[in-house]
Amino acid sequence: MSYSVSVIIPAYKEEEFIEDAIKKLQNKLEENKFVYEIIIILDKASYDKTEEIVKKLIKENNKIRLITRANKLGVGSAVKDGIRNSKNETILITTAEISEDPDDLIKLLNKINEGYDLVSGNRFFQGSKIEGYSKKQFIANRLCNFAIRILFGIKLNDITNGVKAYKSSIIKNIELSAKSFYIFAEIPIKILKNKDITFYELPVKHKVRAQKFSKFNFSKEASLFFKILLKCL
Q: What is the CATH number of the domain that holds 189?
A: 3.90.550.10
Q: Answer for the pair 16, 2: CB distance below 8 angstroms, yes or no.
A: no
pLDDT of residue 139: 80
pLDDT of residue 25: 94
Beta bridge partners of 6: 37, 91
What is the number of structural domains in the chain? 1
| Domain span at 152 | 5-232
Q: Answer for the pair 35, 63: CB distance below 8 angstroms, yes or no.
A: no
CB atoms closer than 10 angstroms to residue 66: 16
pLDDT of residue 213: 42
pLDDT of residue 165: 95
Residues in the chain with pLDDT < 50? 211-214, 216
Cα–Cα nearest to 90, from 68, 112, 106, 69: 112
